[in-house]
Structure formats: structure tokens, C-alpha cells
Amino acid sequence: MKSYNICVIKGDGIGPEIIDEAIKVLDTVSNKFNFELNYEHMLMGGAAIEVFGEPLPEQTLEVALKSDAVLFGAIGGPKWDNLERHLRPESGLLKLRKGLGAFANLRPAIVFDELVEASTIKPEILKDVDIMVVRELTGGIYFGEPRELLEDRAYNTMVYDKFEIERISRVAFEVAQKRDKKVTLVDKANVLETSQLWREVANEVAKDYSDVSLEFMYVDNAAMQLIRYPKQFDVILTENLFGDILSDEASMICGSIGLLPSASIGGKVGIFEPIHGSAPDIAKQGIANPIAMILSAALMLRYAFDENEAANLIEQAVREILKEGYRTKDIANFNAKEICSTDEIGTHISDKIAQL
Ligand code: IPM
Ligand code: MG
């Protein structure tokens, strides 16, 4: 029997609750498809700070590096907000991404027919929207040196090397080849030198993908176009910070930030993580939406283990239970037959998989 080792990092806030549902679903699907999943639970973020005094303990990175994939919930919370930057929970996640070389963050934003009315945007604008945000994840202003916070002055550095832009551009073009064959590079080339380099490199890479068209869009315009006419986008290729911001925006087109999964790949081991944060305000109330986490588990099966059928089945089950009207609170404003807890949604999805 095939067997995969997963490093599970529950993290903080709603992280533990949503990971429990992802594991419930994974166990059902692995039974059905006859592969074995082994979970090793490790600490990161605030949970690790409490035990080890640091957000990414060495053993967590070690186990992650030896695993076939990392399944990660969410980190952060008010308790750790005032720590020095390198001790904050978020620094643990950034170190993990860097340590695993996970430079390519794929964030699919798909509007489910069943939820087209759940968004704050008019349904006719949203129907059939299917965007893939390809976010560079281990470079740019998140990691650039020098950086410093002084008393009266603070600075960060946005820096990109050609090879970093080239490899993420290739990921975007390859993804586009399997979709509608259009890449939109989102940047700020009218102001930033880094963006000028992005355009040059993307243009060069484009020559190897003659079946894919490449367009350029300034990030301020892209933020507006995403709301005005999201259907114009297929693959959005962008640097780290812009991708962080635009993917949150894209999630609201889909109805809730609780719906968007992501795959952070390209390195030795991939991280599969929802795009949302730890939502400490709703933690431990059983109301968090586990769907982004469960869909992230599906991406893990697809990208890390090549278990495509199992991944498809999870995605199908999510659609089916939404069609049947099961909703968490965040998406309950339309067509809800039953408002469910985090645990109930996980169980509905898992039962659906068993039936399908
Ligand atoms: C995300 C998050 C992270 C990021 C934070 C928690 C560091 O917002 O995954 O989008 O900025 O990358
Ligand atoms: Mg973010």
C-alpha cells in the first residue's frame, strides 16, 4: 500500500479546529483509495513560542524537511503581537516557507455556482470566475535586506534576483498551459525597478510558451479590475506582497476568505495552507469555515502525492454539500438549508466522500 508522511502543523486560533476536519476528510478518502497517511504533529507559531520560546523550533523544520508534505492550519494571535518581529508567529511561517524552498504559492479562486449569491458582488459579474493567483513566496519585500525599525525611521527592501522571477514565471506559464492560456503579470512597473525587471524576465520566459499570452497590469488597476470584471483573469502572476493582498481580495469574490486553499510548492517539500489567518476572534467557537483547509488537503493530494482522483473527490464532495445547502456562518446569507458548525461541515464532506 502506498503511504505518505505528513507533517501537520495546527498552529493557533482556528488552526486546530480546521485541521481536525481536514484530517477527518483525509482519513475517509485514504480509506477509499487505499493509501495510508501518517501524521506527525509539530509546533509552529504562537503554540511553539509558548513551549520553546521561538516560532519555528528546529525540530519542526527537520520533520517538515523529512516529510512528503506539510499540512498547515494558521498562526498568530493578539497574545504574541507585541513580540519583536523575529519572535512573532508569522516569522515562523516565513522561515518554514524559506527553509522548504516553497517559492511558488498557487491560490485558486473559483466561484462556486452554489455560492454566487453569497458574495457582496453582483452574481452576474461572478458567474464562472476561475482565477489562479501565482504568488512569489520566498522573495521580495518580505525577505529583503536591509530592513530595520529605528525610532524615527523604518525601512524595508524590495529585492528580486532574475532567477527568482524566472522560476516563478515558468510556474505561471505552465499552469496557464493547462487552463485558458493567459498570464497577467501584476506589478507596479511605472514606479518600481523590481517591477521593470519582472516585465523583462517574464517577456523572455514567455518566448518558451508561445501558446500562452502575456499581459501586464499595474497592481492598483488590478485591484480595481478584480472587482469590476474578474472574468478577464486566468492566471495572475505577481510578487510576494502584491499576491498577499490580491489573493485576499480574490477570496471575497468567491464569497468568503474561509474558502480559498493554497499550495506552496517548488521546493523540496510543499506546504498546503488556507490563505486565511488564525481568526482568533472566532477561535474555539466551532463556527470557523473548514473548507479552505479541506481544499488545501485536496491540493496536497494532487500536487504532493499525485493522488488526483482522491483530490477531485474531495472537491466534488465540497461542491455537493454546498449544493445541498450546508453552510458555516460566513456563507449563510444565501440558500442555506442548515447552518453548521466547523465539525458538522467536516462530517458532511467526509460522509459525502464515503457515499460518492
Ligand atoms: C498569507 C498570510 C501570511 C503572508 C502571513 C501570516 C505571514 O497573510 O499566507 O497570506 O503574509 O504570507
Ligand atoms: Mg495573506
pLDDT tens figures, 240-291: 999 999 999 999 899 889 999 999 999 999 999 999 999 999 999 999 999 9
**C-alpha to C-alpha distance for 56 and 220, rounded to whole angstroms:** 34
Q: Ligand 1, residues 90, 239, 260, 293: which to mutate, most atoms within 8 A of Cβ? A: 90
Does 144 score more than 90 pLDDT? yes
- At residue 118 the predicted structure's pLDDT band, cuts being 50, 70 and 90, is confident
**C-alpha to C-alpha distance for 43 and 61, rounded to whole angstroms:** 10
In a domain, 141, yes or no: yes
Q: Which domain-ending residue is among 198, 221, 253?
A: 253
In terms of domains, do 80 and 154 share one? no
In a domain, 154, yes or no: yes
- Supply the pTM of this predicted model: 0.96
Active site residue 113: no
Q: Which domain-ending residue is among 198, 225, 253?
A: 253
Angstrom CA distances, 190 to 155, 196, 197, 199, 216, stand at: 21, 8, 12, 11, 11
List ligand 1's pocket residues with C-beta within 6 A: 90, 93, 244, 275, 277
Cα 135 to its chain centre, rounded Å, is 9
Q: How much is the pLDDT for 21?
A: 98
In terms of domains, do 264 and 336 share one? yes
Cα 172 to its chain centre, rounded Å, is 15
In terms of domains, do 202 and 247 share one? yes
**C-alpha to C-alpha distance for 82 and 46, rounded to whole angstroms:** 12
In sequence order, the 6+-apart residues with CB closer than 8 A to the CB of 2 are 34, 35, 36, 305
Q: How much is the pLDDT for 181?
A: 98
Cα 141 to its chain centre, rounded Å, is 19
> What is the end-to-end Cα distance of the chain in Å, rounded?
22
Residue nearest to atom 7 of ligand 1 (CA): 90
Residue nearest to atom 1 of ligand 1 (CA): 275
In terms of domains, do 244 and 141 share one? yes
Does 160 score more than 90 pLDDT? yes
Active site residue 188: yes
In a domain, 245, yes or no: yes
Does 126 score more than 90 pLDDT? yes
In sequence order, the 6+-apart residues with CB closer than 8 A to the CB of 178 are none
Question: What average pLDDT does range 226-242 have in this prediction?
Answer: 98
Q: How much is the pLDDT for 114?
A: 86
Over residues 22-46, the pLDDT tens digits come to 999 999 999 999 999 999 999 999 9
Neighbours of 210 (CB within 10 A): 7
Residue nearest to atom 12 of ligand 1 (CA): 244
Catalytic residue among 128, 208, 220, 351: 220
Domain that holds residue 243: 130-253
- At residue 2 the predicted structure's pLDDT band, cuts being 50, 70 and 90, is very high
Neighbours of 152 (CB within 10 A): 4
**DSSP 8-state secondary structure symbol assigned to residue 150:** -
Greatest CA separation for the chain: 62
Q: Which three cell numbers stand for residue 53?
A: 520560546
**C-alpha to C-alpha distance for 24 and 96, rounded to whole angstroms:** 25
Over residues 335-354, the pLDDT tens digits come to 789 999 999 999 999 999 99
Q: How much is the pLDDT for 334?
A: 75
Domain count, the chain: 2
Q: Which three cell numbers stand for residue 198?
A: 519582472
Question: What average pLDDT does range 103-109 have in this prediction?
Answer: 97
Burial grade of 190 (CB within 10 A; 0-12, 13-18, 19 or more) = exposed
In terms of domains, do 94 and 160 share one? no
Alpha carbon of 160 to ligand 1 centroid (Å)? 19
Does 117 score more than 90 pLDDT? no
In terms of domains, do 266 and 249 share one? no
Question: What average pLDDT does range 102-130 have in this prediction?
Answer: 92
Q: Ligand 1, residues 44, 107, 244: which to mutate, most atoms within 8 A of Cβ? A: 244
What's the CATH code of the domain at 88?
Answer: 3.40.718.10
User: What b/e readout covers 319-345, taking b as 16+ CB neighbours within 10 angstroms?
Assistant: ebbbeeebbbbbbbeebbeeebbbebb
